[in-house]
Chain A
Amino acid sequence: MSTPLEHDYIGLAETSSMERSSEKLSSSSSSSIPSIEDKTSKTANDTCLNLKETELRLGLPGSQSPERKLSLFGQDLETNDKSNGFAGSSPLKNLVSGAKRGFSDAIDGSNGKWVFSMNGKSDVELAKGAALASPRVGLDSKTNSQQAKTSASVMKEVVGVPQSPKPVQDKNNLVPPVNDHAIAPASKAQVVGWPPIRSFRKNSMASNLAKNSDEGAGCLYVKVSMDGAPYLRKVDLKTYNNYMEFSSALEKMFSCFTIGQCNSSGLPARDGLSESRLMDLLHGSEYVLTYEDKDGDWMLVGDVPWEMFTDSCRRLRIMKGSEAIGLAPRAMEKCKNQN
């Protein structure tokens, strides 16, 4: 098992800060912006520019960090197919092709379109006080760059192959009360190396955490977090029998955090990630459902049989597909190469 040198929480592999900034443009928080001063943005700017040589990174499933040959999941797949539940001889291909799909893709041939897509409006009114990440259109450039910098999410995280990665907690909506004097970054969870805890301890805690889901006879509660939502939910996995039921329950639970309908456009077959699909992702912000398994690894929901999933799932995270945008081109290449 290889343990990388330094650990932080999982974020996303960042190709360049500019790309990041422009992405974030479309999903920045709103209410916190005006009170953040230059210094804050500078701070966050620094954090968002803490790149490459500083950290090892974990991208979303299917992503590859720019500097490494193997993605974390790539490594996993090569050494440990079974435990990740990947079947098939070309796991990388599956991984890539699966990477950017919405959860509904995972349900073979299903019509379950469990995809949250947001239209261009701001979601401020949805969550009182807490700003939801939302796509924004037509902001003027100066404010844009401020926002982009302050809400840039940090991507460093590292994860040892078997160790327990943590997802980037895109907590744009959890900005601490920023007064005029504070040099607080946009969000605590986005700051590199804070709180100051050594890697070994962080990893040990992360795997402890994974065991903390309530387990009683006949119920299996796991936390479900959704990027941009102000609070978590807990679901009892035992009350569902398959992915379909599960997905519709989650849909209901989290629909209040989204505007508009679930995307009901036709989704491509499991094996391929079509060009148009990626385009959808690039422009929209669909969500991807992931879970942390008992080894502490973050996996895409839907790859393994339902029972295996409930057995190994420790908690869930509904991740914004748009966060994967920087990776999509690479995924596309990989997909092309494999196909």
Chain B
Amino acid sequence: MGSSELKRSKDSVSDESARRSSFPDEVLERVLSLLKSHRDRSSVSLVCKDWYNAERWSRTHVFIGNCYSVTPEIVARRFPRIRSVTLKGKPRFSDFNLVPENWGADIHAWLVVFAAKYPFLEELRLKRMAISDESLEFLAISFPNFKALSLLSCDGFSTNGLAAIATHCKNLTELDIQENGIDDKGGSWLSCFPERFMSLEVLNFANLTSDINFDALEKLVGRCKSMRVLKLNRSVSLEQLQRLLVSAPQLAELGTGSFSQELTIREYEELESTLSICKNMHTLSGLWDAKGIYLPALYPACSHLTFLNLSYAALQSVELAKLLAHCPRLKRLWVLDTVEDKGLEAVGLNCPLLEELRVFPADPFDDEIVHGVTEAGFVAVSFGCPRLHYVLYFCRQMTNAAVATIVQNCPDFTHFRLCIMNPGQPDYLTNEPMDEAFGAVVKTCTKLQRLSVSGLLTDLTFEYIGRYAKNLETLSVAFAGRSDWGMQCVLGGCSKLRKLEIRDCPFGNAALLSGLEKYESMRSLWMSACNVTMNGCRLLAREMPRLNVEVMKEDGSDESQADKVYVYRSIAGPRRDAPPSVLTL
């Protein structure tokens, strides 16, 4: 059901409600239970009281984009039948060390409420939350039906917590541990899965560094016949990988361990033939330390690949080209910039169906050695891949002309994240600001939802964004702009803006306060190392009581400066668990 259909229904329902609707609640609930999108559900709940109730009773999954925007009690009161929760905590810049360590976003209070109100909770997906081993153990014990745990970019726990999950969650189908600040105390947690346990479908421990007990893993994989996602860590060797694959040829997603062991010819052939049986494989990742000579073993498994993640394999351009020749169906590709422009040319030549490209820097902090990708690589991809709509591109040089060409070739961008690694760097050929590049992006790509800008940028970039980026929801800005006017343009023009994160820009109080009414329609605003003062923040807090305005001060900084500001809407009121370094105004 689309939102427009719902609106039409709204009219008819309000007519009928006067006559006592002949549409029984149970039927309505049944129909609404088919709605999956949380946005659609939000729309439905606004139609009328009956629909609000029907929606809340039929909802089984709740998505909370900011854990401080609401309390667990409020959630439990409104939605009595939740079985799956997705929660996001810290501001995104915490991934880059900009948020104090003890900032908050602790899951425990939520778990306590869930244990009381949702004893049949099955799934918990957390992003940027703090979670302790005690909380993991509490989770493991409190929810007998618990099935799926996914932790992305979380911190505060160790492998002991994982051991608790493995030990107690008898119905576990998914354990997905990604890119967390985890205290890896060893691999024994994996041996905690009971001997008869066989329900695991998704196992991702690629984040961990310790050796695991391979024997336990092999037996586990052998028992779990429904396993479709297996992502190993670096400690698993090629030979071990081969043995695992023998018992799991049905895998749809594989993350290899280290891809660089010395293999005999026979071992290599064994690996190759085992991989060739994996006909269901659509996602391949891992490939740590991949040696070019072993990559051909993958070729037979690549025919149906749609997602290839080579971002931990420092491949050269020729190696990549050869591999891509076997991946005609590729839709998503992540690589390191060691492949250089030549490698990206191969992408353009071999992957006409490509929709997403991410190029990560192998050596982001090394100034002296110039390598990596340039604007030429990106342009080459754009010529060969017209369906490209998601890009994350780290480079050391870019030109306005190149970006204009790129968006001309690929006008359907929804996510355009360009990171010119040297802050404030201009177009390297013309020495001009990169305003026209991003101007071209927003003018041409009308579906743009997410934009990250970089390079030397004046307020003109933001004028363009405010004027043209009407579907923009997330904007990330760093080392850019000239004056408050830039930020004001964005706040005034981007009607769908939900998340705005800014660092090291000359935007001050006037800019901050120009968004007074806007912030309530947004999830959050982050401003750090800008020109905002405490007084500006206090004013904002005073004027807008339904916003939480939090300032993180730094040691030794000016009393009046608001070093880091985080503003978000909330029906929970100011939070009570803030550490001393975070001031709630």
Say whether B95 contacts A195, CB under 8 Å.
Answer: no
Binds A, one of B65-73, B177-185, B263-271, B345-353: B177-185
Q: Which residues on A sit within 8 Å (CB–CB) of B433?
A: 181
Residue in chain B with minimal CB distance to A156: B97
Q: In the bound complex, what is the Cα–Cα distance between A211 and B181 (angstroms)? A: 24
Say whether B101 contacts A5, CB under 8 Å.
Answer: yes
Q: In the bound complex, what is the Cα–Cα distance between A211 and B259 (angstroms)? A: 14
Q: In the bound complex, what is the Cα–Cα distance between A189 and B365 (angstroms)? A: 6
Say whether A53 contacts B478, CB under 8 Å.
Answer: no
Say whether A2 contacts B183, CB under 8 Å.
Answer: yes
The answer, yes or no, to whether B312 is at the interface (CB within 8 Å) is yes
Say whether B419 contacts A3, CB under 8 Å.
Answer: no
The answer, yes or no, to whether B568 is at the interface (CB within 8 Å) is no
Query: Which residues of chain B from 488 to 516 have a CB within 8 Å of any chain A CB?
Result: 503-506
0/1 string, A1-15, CB within 8 A of B gives 1: 111111111000000
The answer, yes or no, to whether A87 is at the interface (CB within 8 Å) is no
Contact of B394 among A17, A166, A195, A200 (CB under 8 A): A195
Q: Which residues on B sit within 8 Å (CB–CB) of A82?
A: none
Binds B, one of A168-176, A240-248, A252-260: A168-176
The answer, yes or no, to whether B195 is at the interface (CB within 8 Å) is no
Q: A169-B365, A188-B423, A194-B478 are in contact. Are A46 and B97 (CB under 8 A)?
A: no
Say whether B422 contacts A162, CB under 8 Å.
Answer: no
The answer, yes or no, to whether A183 is at the interface (CB within 8 Å) is yes
Say whether A6 contacts B209, CB under 8 Å.
Answer: no
Interface residue count on the A side (C-beta < 8 Å): 65
Q: Which residues on B sit within 8 Å (CB–CB) of A49?
A: 554-557, 563
Q: Which residues on A sit within 8 Å (CB–CB) of B482?
A: 181
Say whether A200 contacts B314, CB under 8 Å.
Answer: no
Q: A198-B153, A232-B368 are in contact. Are A54 and B184 (CB under 8 A)?
A: no
Q: Which residues on A sit within 8 Å (CB–CB) of B311?
A: 201
Q: A3-B183, A195-B394, A205-B362 are in contact. Are A183 and B504 (CB under 8 A)?
A: yes
Say whether A6 contacts B364, CB under 8 Å.
Answer: no
0/1 string, A192-203, CB within 8 A of B gives 1: 111111111110
Say whether B183 contacts A54, CB under 8 Å.
Answer: no
The answer, yes or no, to whether A212 is at the interface (CB within 8 Å) is yes
Q: In the bound complex, what is the Cα–Cα distance between A204 and B361 (angstroms)? A: 12
The answer, yes or no, to whether A55 is at the interface (CB within 8 Å) is yes
Q: Which residues on A sit within 8 Å (CB–CB) of B464?
A: none
Q: Which residues on A sit within 8 Å (CB–CB) of B563?
A: 46, 49
Contact of A195 among B182, B209, B289, B421 (CB under 8 A): B421
Say whether A54 contacts B360, CB under 8 Å.
Answer: no
The answer, yes or no, to whether B102 is at the interface (CB within 8 Å) is yes
Q: Which residues on B sit within 8 Å (CB–CB) of A184?
A: 422-425, 479
Main secondary structure of the interface of B (DSSP, over half): loop
Residue in chain B with minimal CB distance to A166: B365
Q: In the bound complex, what is the Cα–Cα distance between A55 and B529 (angstroms)? A: 16
Q: In the bound complex, what is the Cα–Cα distance between A218 and B186 (angstroms)? A: 37
Q: Which residues on A sit within 8 Å (CB–CB) of B288?
A: 204
0/1 string, B551-585, CB within 8 A of A gives 1: 00011110000010000000000000001010000
Q: Which residues on A sit within 8 Å (CB–CB) of B367?
A: 169, 171, 174, 188-189
Q: Which residues on B sit within 8 Å (CB–CB) of A220?
A: none
The answer, yes or no, to whether B207 is at the interface (CB within 8 Å) is yes
Contact of B480 among A183, A196, A199 (CB under 8 A): A183
Say whether A197 contacts B557, CB under 8 Å.
Answer: no
The answer, yes or no, to whether A52 is at the interface (CB within 8 Å) is yes
Query: Which residues of chain B from 108 to 155 have a CB within 8 Å of any chain A CB?
Result: 153, 155
Q: A9-B365, A185-B423 are in contact. Are A4 and B557 (CB under 8 A)?
A: no
Contact of A196 among B95, B102, B156 (CB under 8 A): B95
Q: Which residues on B sit within 8 Å (CB–CB) of A211?
A: 289
0/1 string, A156-170, CB within 8 A of B gives 1: 101000110010010
The answer, yes or no, to whether A213 is at the interface (CB within 8 Å) is no
Q: A53-B100, A197-B96 are in contact. Are A183 and B424 (CB under 8 A)?
A: yes
The answer, yes or no, to whether A18 is at the interface (CB within 8 Å) is yes
The answer, yes or no, to whether B458 is at the interface (CB within 8 Å) is yes
Q: Which residues on B sit within 8 Å (CB–CB) of A3?
A: 181-184, 209
Q: In the bound complex, what is the Cα–Cα distance between A198 and B94 (angstroms)? A: 9
Q: Which residues on B sit within 8 Å (CB–CB) of A195?
A: 361, 364, 394, 419, 421
The answer, yes or no, to whether A39 is at the interface (CB within 8 Å) is yes
Q: Which residues on A sit within 8 Å (CB–CB) of B312?
A: 201, 204, 208
Say whether B155 contacts A43, CB under 8 Å.
Answer: no
Q: A181-B458, A184-B423, A201-B360 are in contact. Are A55 and B97 (CB under 8 A)?
A: yes
Query: Which residues of chain B from 185 to 237 have a CB within 8 Å of any chain A CB?
Result: 185-186, 207, 209-210
Say whether A193 contacts B97, CB under 8 Å.
Answer: yes
Q: In the bound complex, what is the Cα–Cα distance between A204 and B129 (angstroms)? A: 22
Q: Which residues on A sit within 8 Å (CB–CB) of B555?
A: 16-17, 49, 51-53
Q: A183-B479, A188-B423, A205-B362 are in contact. Are A193 and B554 (CB under 8 A)?
A: no
The answer, yes or no, to whether A209 is at the interface (CB within 8 Å) is yes
0/1 string, A47-87, CB within 8 A of B gives 1: 10111111110000000000000000000000000000000
Q: List 11 contacting pairs A-B, 8 Å CB cutoff, sorted by A.
A: A1-B210, A3-B181, A5-B156, A50-B554, A51-B554, A51-B555, A54-B554, A162-B209, A183-B481, A200-B180, A212-B314
Tell me the B residues contacting A by CB distance below 8 Å: 93-102, 153, 155-156, 179-186, 207, 209-210, 288-289, 311-312, 314, 336, 360-369, 394, 419, 421-426, 433, 456, 458, 476, 478-482, 503-506, 528-529, 531, 554-557, 563, 579, 581
List 13 additional A-B contacts (Cβ < 8 Å) besides A39-B506, A194-B421. A2-B184, A3-B181, A4-B181, A8-B96, A46-B554, A51-B556, A54-B98, A54-B101, A176-B425, A181-B482, A183-B506, A184-B424, A193-B98
Tell me the A residues contacting B by CB distance below 8 Å: 1-9, 16-18, 39, 42-43, 45-47, 49-56, 156, 158, 162-163, 166, 169, 171, 174, 176, 178-179, 181-185, 188-189, 191-202, 204-205, 208-209, 211-212, 225, 231-232
Q: Rank and list the top 3 A-B pairs by shortest CB-CB distance, nearest first.
A: A193-B96, A184-B424, A5-B181
